[in-house]
Structure 1
Amino acid sequence: MSPTTEGLGPRRRALLGSGLGAALAGSAAALTGAASSAGGSSAGATTAAPDVPGTVPFYGPRQAGVTTPPPAHTRWVALDLTPGATLEDLRRVLRIWTEDLARATQGASPLADHTPELTREHTRLTVTVGLGGSVFEHVGRPDLAPPWLAELPPFATDALEDRWSGGDVVLQVEATTAEATARVQRALVRAAGAVVRHRWTQAGTRPTPGAPTWRAPRNAFGQIDGTVQPALDGSDDDLLWRGPESGPWEHASTLVLRRIAMNLDTWEELDPVAKEHAIGRRLADGAPLTGGHEGSPPDLTASGPHGFTVIDPGSHMARAMPREPWERFLRRPCAYELPGRDEVGTLTARDTARSAHGLLFAAYCADAHRQLVPVQRRLAEADLLNIWTVTVGSATFALLPGVQEGESLGERVLAG
């Protein structure tokens, strides 16, 4: 038995010895102590029960992290396969990640964690794994790509940058602490070894002082963002998940991540009335300008005393409202902040020492081209908020179906 695999369990040794060993053996050597320090079960052992306080179940037909109430911290990590990486390499990485995530999400350390003493707290960790369309081209199997997965078309208001766009594989890591998301990213990327290289990391936060919640947060404009959502009681599952007609992709979903830079310098010059006019909602409580509360339907035809509509047809809410029943998708927005000035072309009008802020707009749906693209086109055409925003990054991923014990992420969809 090789000293680099001793103590890892037969399943882990089999993965490391089947062609990926050169890439992962060095990482595995450092993991031997971690398994015993974290409470001790071997790689193939059963994870903690689903009702462990502070944890989210890992196994199931669908991955956690889509309809799971969002915690305070989310980071999306895009990886590219390195030149020469094969379909079998991708399968092996997904098997190793499955094994690590079954442990990490239940409060035990991933096998690639060099300091397991720091990861024993239960932080409602979820990690959602997705594949970009480019990965199927990379491994020479475009036939395995789901037909509904494709990059979004260009929009007139986009100023996309490679440093925030694309990717072969994505890891969405969520937890109640930023440290937990950072540590899990590090462990999973280390476990993948030389098969992947980092493309980008985008980290955001939500104001969630207590337990994770679906309550719509405020973005950097002070706007309550994410009021209109599909139902999560099963009645809108066709908007969120692929159905039986998708074969091995049943229970998959689509993630569209859009990085939106926000010009606070000029936004902050507006008075509250002008801000509400651009948004179409009251800043105080998120209610439509036509009255009611945050969840009240807006009256887009109501006129004011001078004959103009109360809600401007170019307001963000008016442009974003679904025109068809299927033009709905689940949103999990997060705020990001960068120290100093963010170079976003003409958006940054002044060279100031103020930090740059923006929105990580994460949308989840069964078919982005049917559900999301029509809304994005309307926003690009006439949304008043385009004066203060620009989209600088965009990426689309197929979120893999979930797994049961004994299975691996991607096992069925990559079986061809």
Structure 2
Amino acid sequence: MADNSNPHVRALSRRRLLGGGVATLGVAGITWGATTAIDQRGHDRPAGQLVEPFHGAHQGGITTTPQAHAVFIGFDLLPSTDRSVAVGIMKMWSEDASRLTAGQPALADTERELSLDPARLTVTVGYGPGLFTKLGLQDSQPDWFAPLPIYAIDRLDDRWGASDLLLQICGDDPVTVAHAVRVLSKNVRALTTIRWTQRGFRNARGTTAEGATMRNLMGQVDGTVNPRPGSTDFDSLVWHDGTDCPWLAGGTSLVLRRIRMEMDTWDELDRPGREITVGRTLSNGAPLSGTDEFDEVDFEVTDAFGIPVIPQGSHIARARHTTPQEQFFRRAYNYDDAPEAGQSSNSGLIFAAYQRDIAAQYLPVQQRLSDFDALNEWTTPIGSAVYLVPPGCGENDYLGSGLLG
């Protein structure tokens, strides 16, 4: 482990990192090899010592097995920001994230003891449309990259709207995540403003079986139909191939929607009503036409009266892809915040969808859900943002260098 008490290490100040070249990043190189060794032996170590690699062809936090805790932070660049400042931010985040995810203190870490348990920490960076406008890089965006339309079901609150930059920070320990959030945010506070912070969670590590589909706070199994990393079609659905945007090759795009759940009125709906609304049983997530969660949905099955057991307006019927291309990779988190004035609950879903092409894959599905979905009675989108997620980077490079370098 690197020793930051060394005066040569301490001398690598924020100012030098912002202004230095890629060679600056080599300081931490002597420790990166340990990451792989820890990963290979991780099953023999405490959960807090498990490490997810930072460097690679793709950014972590996408195909990574979802961790228990997530924080999404939207940053806006100051109006005076130019490309050199953006490069400095990305070098700083890349350097600090590579250390924190490996269980090492960041370069200017004032609470270094909090970094020693990485707990599968991942840091993922995204670029919003505003970044391209402020830096004069509009020609570097794919044609399909634009804010989502405002749908009839939307009740969008500007405080959860688009931001220039996104940090998605995930881990299995809330202390580790909180420390990473603090380190990565405070080091850019003179260059950015924080537009919003969204905190989400899933079951604690070890609570459910490995690979089990998460449940949302409505009690539903959430995300059964999801492309599987390693499957034959996953790469073409999620990773960009660079054809219309060379710097994005190996990256992806993210749609981030904040969806409020109307829990008070959902409580009034009985169990059969809930299952018909969604199209799945609550007990194990099986489609109403089957018995197991992963049974193929059969919309032709009828009851004794000839009525389809899965209504055409149910959520799974409306969300089902109509072509192989209409699929995306979802990685959602629950939220449960303090109720606002006049409310008894403030719960919902931070819906994160990754795909190669938002217009071709995400928009058709979202339009169907907006046109009619029985679940719309109890869910309300209140936040919406889109991001381009650059590919991963090597040990002597930084995130976004293909765009900003």
Q: What TM-score comes out, normalization by structure 1 length?
A: 0.87
Q: Distance in 2 between matches of 1:307 and 1:322?
A: 25
Q: Which residues of 2 match residues 7-406 of structure 1 at below 5 A?
A: 7-8=9-10, 14-17=16-19, 42-43=27-28, 45-47=30-32, 48-52=34-38, 53=42, 54-210=50-206, 213-235=210-232, 236-245=234-243, 246-341=245-340, 351-352=342-343, 354-406=344-396
2:279/2:310 contact within 8 Å kept: yes
AA aligned to 1:275 is R
1:331/1:364 contact within 8 Å kept: yes
Q: Distance in 1 between matches of 2:15 and 2:210?
A: 40
Cα distance change on mapping 1:315 and 1:11 into 2, 3 Å:
same
- In structure 1, the gaps of 5 or more residues are 20-40, 343-350
Give the secondary structure class of the aligned counterpart of 1:118. Answer: helix
Q: Distance in 2 between matches of 1:322 and 1:181?
A: 35
List per-residue Cα deviations over 1:254-278 (Å, max 9, x = no partner): 1111100011111111111100010
AA aligned to 1:123 is A
1:69/1:213 contact within 8 Å kept: no
Give the secondary structure class of the aligned counterpart of 1:372. Answer: helix
AA aligned to 2:111 is T
Give the secondary structure class of the aligned counterpart of 2:110. Answer: coil
Cα distance change on mapping 1:71 and 1:323 into 2, 3 Å:
same
Identity %: 39
1:8/1:43 contact within 8 Å kept: no
Q: What TM-score comes out, normalization by structure 2 length?
A: 0.89
Q: Distance in 1 between matches of 2:67 and 2:37?
A: 18
1:8/1:42 contact within 8 Å kept: no
How far is the alpha carbon of 1:215 from its aligned partner? 2.2
Give the secondary structure class of the aligned counterpart of 2:404. Answer: coil
2:114/2:175 contact within 8 Å kept: no
Q: Distance in 2 between matches of 1:213 and 1:177?
A: 17
1:329/1:372 contact within 8 Å kept: yes
Partner of 1:37: none
1:112/1:190 contact within 8 Å kept: no
Instruction: Give me the CA root mean square deviation.
Output: 2.1
1:144/1:414 contact within 8 Å kept: no
2:100/2:118 contact within 8 Å kept: no
Q: Distance in 2 between matches of 1:16 and 1:151?
A: 30
Cα distance change on mapping 1:6 and 1:194 into 2, 3 Å:
farther
Q: Distance in 2 between matches of 1:17 and 1:259?
A: 36
2:311/2:317 contact within 8 Å kept: yes
